[in-house]
Amino acid sequence: MPKRFTTKYGGGGHNSSLLIIAVPSEDSFIQYCVNGILNMPPHHISRFSDNTLHNIADIFNLKLINLHHENVQNEHIEFYKSTMWAKLFLPTPLVDRGFFRKIINRLGRIGKHCIKIPPNAYGHTAVAIYKIK
């Protein structure tokens, strides 16, 4: 999060002002996404862990009111299952064009049906709500 933006808008409001940000969550399944073009710059320049979102409050003198993770959305169910299938067999670098990755991804067309989504699985977006002190 650019410091200039946060300083200008996060610290310049009234006592009742809120700062709401929605960011890609590094604590969700997308941390394991390999070769995901929409999970790379320029679409996602940064990723934010829960720890980072908590630290933003301290750095910019804000109070974190709520940190909400979306559930895995219906349109991301296949993406989640494919990602977690591949994670079972291979490391998860940002880019992997190797032969074994291609084989695992092909086998995942069938294997992903064995992947269950836990009820507490995070979707790829986190929303942090801060109150300006």
Neighbours of 58 (CB within 10 A): 10
User: Model confidence at 133, in pLDDT bands (50, 70, 90)?
Assistant: confident
Which residues are paired to 67 by β-bridges? 128
Query: In angstroms, what is the C-alpha Rg of the chain?
Result: 18
Q: Which residues contact 69 (CB under 8 A, 6 or more apart)?
A: 25, 27, 28, 122, 123, 125, 126, 127
* pLDDT, tens digit (0-9, with 9 covering 90-100), for 61-107: 899 999 999 999 999 999 999 999 999 999 999 999 999 999 999 99
Q: Does 45 have pLDDT greater than 90?
A: no
In this prediction, residue 27 has a pLDDT band, given cuts at 50, 70 and 90, of very high
**Confidence tier at 23 by pLDDT (50, 70, 90):** very high
